[in-house]
Amino acid sequence: MAERIGFIGPGAMGAPMAANLLRHGFPVTTFVHRNPEPALALEAQGARIARSRAALLEECPVVLACLPTSAEVEEVVLGSGGVVESGSPGGVFVDMGTSRPASTRMLAERLGARGIAMLDAPITGGVRGAREGTLTIYVGGAPEVFARVRPAFEAMGRTVLHMGGTAAGHLTKLLNNILSLASMAALAEVLPLGVRLGLDPPLLVQALAAGSGATTMIPGRGERILQRDFTASFRVDLAHKDLRLAQEVAQEVNLPPPVTQAAAMTFTMARSLGLDAEDTVAVVKVWERLLGVEVRGR
């Protein structure tokens, strides 16, 4: 029988991930933190709601956390009623957010002293991937612990890769996000420039998606810009956080990463325009305002 899984952070990404675990037969326990609606929705699908975080940790040998920042993960692990205090030796804690690798190593050491293993397993694929169970999951940690949790990962993702030891998953995710967010920053610059030069926006998106500079994100994100759909799947402020973490990692090996810095500048400007809670495609507004144009479909 599958081990009971505790799920901390059933938000926009976490709730559909936990729902996929339930659909694949995993017993899931969550608890109400701020907003009760996601936990109650999971309860309607068969999840159990614990009375507290400590109670969840006491009954679940494997705990997954899908949280936006290292600070929140550290509080879950080290805070009152957290994993170090309330978790059981022999258990596993999995950080599925995009966290600071140095923090991941510190937490793994603290947990290890209590006989609790840790995996870092950040995800990529967006809300759609979380709903459809097609996420890509990069995992860092001991091979035998990865093997134990792998069936749960495969219930949530299509591609599950064990990248190496502790923090290897988080390092891989940061490198992935450099590519992804630099591409988004470039698209956000190119489309308004093309419109300012007199090109037709939908035709330009079509041309870029078919050209030598094409990436898999251009059709979908280009269409979202054309439709003026900035509903957050990946928020501007969290993307900016990831780029700052990527710069920190590069600086550890004395690399001043120029492309990462340029992308981070675009997201810094977007935040200065009050776009924190909008999707990353909203960075197009930075260059639209500078050029006095709007990238819109017919």
Q: Which residues are catalytic?
A: 173
Phi, psi of 288, rounded to the nearest 5 degrees: -60, -45
Query: Distance between CA atoms of 79 and 275, rounded to whole angstroms?
Result: 31
CB 62 within 8 A of CB 6: yes
Query: Distance between CA atoms of 170 and 174, rounded to whole angstroms?
Result: 6
CB 120 within 8 A of CB 141: yes
Amino acid letter, residue 153: F
Cβ neighbors of 92 (< 8 A, separation 6 or more) are 61, 62, 63, 116, 117, 118, 119, 145, 148, 149
Q: Which helix (H) or strand (E) holds 14?
A: helix 14-23
Query: Distance between CA atoms of 147 and 286, rounded to whole angstroms?
Result: 45
One DSSP character per residue, 108-128 reads: HHHHHTTT-EEEE--EESHHH
Q: Which of 292, 243, 290, 293 is nearest to 268 (CA)?
A: 243
Residue at token pair 């050029």: 291
Cβ neighbors of 75 (< 8 A, separation 6 or more) are 82
Query: Distance between CA atoms of 190 and 291, rounded to whole angstroms?
Result: 11
